[in-house]
């Protein structure tokens, strides 16, 4: 009996804790409830304890030692590439646990369901359409909005989701691992021969992710509405 009591004293009040993934930070903070920063001793448990003691449902670890709590994600925070979160938690001697990354949150919470995401505003689009292989521009970017990289997890769908969540309807994949977003292609980008785009995507070898200075360009479009046939006038 005594043995059970002794054990119970060491078992923390366990909450249902779910890892939701690696999420983007925003300049004004994705989680604004409370924060604690410690670049030398932070652990996943420290952040969970800090946030749940204050009765927050969601918490995220960023840049190794930063812990943020909240009950909802601010607009503009959304799932990023898993490989963006790779900074070890400094308080874990094994360095086996991950505490986010630069501008990325390893996001946890008490609910089994991930929190609602509110993307940046964008047109009501639902489908992607391939626009061809296009040249990169010198001294700039063919698509100059948001940027994402992943040496092991880049896919066409993930780049498309990343760009749409960032508020951009055009997206392009370059050099196998790079994702660029924009509102339109730079006027100096020109269509290239299709065979110039031949590099496999780092996260999906069967997909093409551009080439050297070449982008596989896609665009989000509204669904095609099947309307009634318009009769010929005559």
Ligand X SMILES: *[C@@H]1O[C@H](CO)[C@@H](O)[C@H](O)[C@H]1NC(C)=O
Interacting residues with ligand X (CB under 6 A):
137, 140, 186-188
| Backbone phi and psi for residue 147, each to the nearest 5 degrees, phi listed first | -135, 140
Distances (CA, A) of 187 to 123, 174, 183: 21, 18, 12
Between CA 147 and CA 162 the distance in angstroms is: 9
CB of 46 or CB of 174, closer to ligand X: 174
| Backbone phi and psi for residue 148, each to the nearest 5 degrees, phi listed first | -140, 150
CB of 9 or CB of 187, closer to ligand X: 187
Nearest distance from C-beta of residue 137 to ligand X, angstroms:
6
CB of 62 or CB of 136, closer to ligand X: 136
Nearest distance from C-beta of residue 182 to ligand X, angstroms:
11
Nearest distance from C-beta of residue 144 to ligand X, angstroms:
8
Q: Which residues contact 82 (CB under 8 A, 6 or more apart)?
A: 21, 22, 153
Q: Taking the CA atoms of 106, 112, 117 and 123 in sequence, report the sign of the dihedral they define.
A: positive
CB of 62 or CB of 174, closer to ligand X: 174
Q: Left, alpha or beta for 177 (phi > 0: left; psi -120 to 50: alpha)?
A: alpha
Nearest distance from C-beta of residue 170 to ligand X, angstroms:
14
CB of 60 or CB of 172, closer to ligand X: 172
Q: Which residue is nearest to ligand X (CB)?
A: 188
Nearest distance from C-beta of residue 75 to ligand X, angstroms:
29
Q: Which residues contact 163 (CB under 8 A, 6 or more apart)?
A: 145, 146, 169, 170, 171, 179, 180, 181, 220
Nearest distance from C-beta of residue 158 to ligand X, angstroms:
27
CB of 82 or CB of 137, closer to ligand X: 137
């Amino acid at each position: 009996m005594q043995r059970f009591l002794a054990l119970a004293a060491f078992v923390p009040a366990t909450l249902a804790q779910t890892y939701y993934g690696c999420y983007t930070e925003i300049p004004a903070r994705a989680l604004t409830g409370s924060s604690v920063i410690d670049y030398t001793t932070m652990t996943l448990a420290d952040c969970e304890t800090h946030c749940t003691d204050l009765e927050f449902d969601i918490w995220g670890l960023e840049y190794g030692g930063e812990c943020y709590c909240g009950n909802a994600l601010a607009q503009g925070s959304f799932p990023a590439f898993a490989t963006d979160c790779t900074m070890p938690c400094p308080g874990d001697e094994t360095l086996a646990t991950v505490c986010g990354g630069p501008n990325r949150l390893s996001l946890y919470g008490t609910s089994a369901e991930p929190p609602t995401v509110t993307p940046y505003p964008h047109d009501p689009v639902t489908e992607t359409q391939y626009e061809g292989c296009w040249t990169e521009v010198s001294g700039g970017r063919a698509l100059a909005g948001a940027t994402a990289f992943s040496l092991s997890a880049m896919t066409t769908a993930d780049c498309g989701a990343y760009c749409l969540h960032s508020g951009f309807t055009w997206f392009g994949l370059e050099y196998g691992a790079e994702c660029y977003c924009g509102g339109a292609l730079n006027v100096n980008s020109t269509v290239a021969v299709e065979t110039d785009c031949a590099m496999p995507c780092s996260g999906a070898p069967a997909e093409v992710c551009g080439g050297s200075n070449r982008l596989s360009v896609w665009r989000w479009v509204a669904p095609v509405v099947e309307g009634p046939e318009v009769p010929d006038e005559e």
